[in-house]
Amino acid sequence: MVADFTGRSRELIWVSDLVYAESAPGVGVVGLVTGSAGLGKTTFAVRAAHALLPSFPDGAVFLDLFGISQRPLPVPDALRALLRALGVPDQRIPPDVHERASLYRSLMRDRRVLVVLDNAGSEEQVRPLLPGGGTSRVLVTTRRLLAGLEGVRRLALGPLGPAESTNLLAGILNGRAVDGAALTRLAESCGGLPLALRIIGNRLLSRPDWDAAELAARLAPEEHRLDQFRAGDLRIAAAFMMSYEQLTPSARQVFRRLAVLPGRDFGAELASVAGGLPLGDAWEALDDLVDLGLLQDAGAGRYRFHDLVRLFARDRLQAEEGDAAAAVRERVTVWLLRTATAAGRWFEPGYGRPDPDVPALGSTEEAEDWLRADVENWLGALRSASAAGRHRPVLDCAESMHWFSDRWAHAPHWREVFSLGAEAAVALADPVQQATQLNYLAWVHWVPPSDPEAMLRCTARALELAERSGAAQQVAAAHDYTSRALLELDRPDEAAASAAVAAGMFQAAGDIDAYVQTLSQIGHCRRKQGRTAEALRQYRGTLDLIGDGSSGMTPTIAAQCRPYALARIGQCLADLDRRVEAVAALTEAVELMEKLQPNFRQAEALETLGALLEDDGRPYYERAARTYREIGDEAAGRRCEAAT
């Protein structure tokens, strides 16, 4: 038994419960421990067996089934080994496999024995070795899920947590003095895999002159990290390779090529694109990869690599398809940018149903779900395309995100998206698009915590470019964002003047979506000027336009603007001490905002409701505090908590 075994307390309790578990007549109690390579399933099973030994007076038996090797232990040989361990002489072991299985079950039923079947490879290998009832117990470890086994109790072994990882590494080092920060970095590099932790610990322990911080620095670059996980005959890559060799050729291809994806998780369609397989074949490959623990099922149809397994996949791609790797990356990048652009355009005025060649996105809901779930992937593709000088698709993608970005205002990536868009516009010598992207960047700086000075720098340059190019739409947008910056700087009179210019230009151009936004901005200015009744009329005018189906507003934008207008109306009514009306408007606004990503407008509405409802306002203050914290405003969160 490994003396420095650490953690797994809940899992050990689960195994101990097997001793007292009841089963149906004729059905044995079996615990199935599953998990990917390197998770320490064997070590865990041995530790559990030692802990349970007092409950099994007839002893414990350990048998390695070699299920993931090239030569799994055949069932007849496994039964022979088990019968020998149970005290049956060779001459009494039946030659027929069915008779062996019957004798084995009879002995298990009449005795109290714990059998550990390690490294099972398939249901067919395990079924004849399971008991048929009685007080004996069987514990099976396997990399595969063995979903075909019925009536077994399942335990999915996962990576160790940060504290357990650090403790295990310290235990392996057996008292050797190591800087705490270096120890933590080393543990983090191992990703919670006990095998990786043991390899790193053994490397340090066998080399007294090595510095832990230096080894941690070696592990930092991904390019050579996997090479560092070797100590004597222990190699993390070898453990992964045993699972990899169990895959079909098509599943291996998908596994290797998934390493090019920029994000940490992905869906089946992206796996199909990367793997170069039809979607149905990609689903089958993903099932095989999950079954062998080479991928983790992240839920909701998403999959993810363990960090070290991803590095192994990348190495296999380079070793087996070095010449094709660049083409795979290009195909993935093109597909991601095209899909992201198509998804963003679902929210843009005038596009209708965009890009029929992206059938997976058949509605605004599907488009939004994809943009959120795959943000790391499409953002990574945007970066790659920008670095490769593919300016047109970069600009198209950034441009398509304009209206969608307001639905996810506090996402941290919008500054990068629109900065890359502006750089692409410069490279394409397109001053109108440069002005457009600069206006979008002004919006980014407007979202709290705002930076009005940065906004003014963006709008000044955008206005210059737009006026020189005769781009009236972007001239109007620059005035709109200038107004927002001036209001943040507590200059409401100037802000109102800029907003009025923008509103007139948007109205003249027939851009009703932008026009409604600037009408709301004029309302903000009136409220800041202390002209609350005028502000209320302004907001109600915008709400009328939003609700008018013949106004020409884009439906998704109208639905997005409605709760914000209601919230502003509610705040004005509260200022005017019209409490009942204010509560009604704010309550409706908050309910509608539940469909949108948490943002500062929602938090403000909840906080106002909390103040209006006084003794009944605590739940709204609590929700406001949570929302403020979700968008990163800790000070506002504390303010709302103090009010509860």
Q: Residue 222: its pLDDT value, please? A: 83
Q: Which residues contact 90 (CB under 8 A, 6 or more apart)?
A: 84
Instruction: Write out pLDDT tens, residues 467-477.
Output: 999 999 999 99
Bridge partner list, 299? 302
Are the CB atoms for 436 and 420 separated by under 8 Å? no
Q: Residue 1: its pLDDT value, please? A: 52
Q: Residue 352: its pLDDT value, please? A: 66
Pairing of strands 60-64, 153-156: unpaired
Q: Residue 3: its pLDDT value, please? A: 61
Q: Residue 358: its pLDDT value, please? A: 74
Residue with tokens 């088990």: 82
Instruction: Write out pLDDT tens, residues 92-108.
Output: 999 999 999 999 999 99
Write out residues in the chain with pLDDT < 50, as ranges.
none
Q: Report pTM.
A: 0.87
Q: Residue 231: its pLDDT value, please? A: 79
Residue with tokens 């990536």: 413
Q: Residue 230: its pLDDT value, please? A: 84
Helix (H, G, I), strand (E, B) or coil at 155: strand
Q: Residue 5: its pLDDT value, please? A: 79
Name the residue among 468, 395, 400 with its Cα closest to residue 433: 395
Q: How many Å from the N-terminal Cα to the C-terminal Cα in the chain?
A: 54
Measured CA to CA, the distance from residue 11 to residue 48 in angstroms comes to 9
What beta strand segments (E) does 244-365 contain? 265-267, 296-299, 302-304
How far is CA 313 from each of CA 167, 319, 342, rounded to the nearest angstrom?
29, 10, 30
Q: Residue 218: its pLDDT value, please? A: 85
Are the CB atoms for 542 and 521 separated by under 8 Å? no
Q: Residue 411: its pLDDT value, please? A: 93
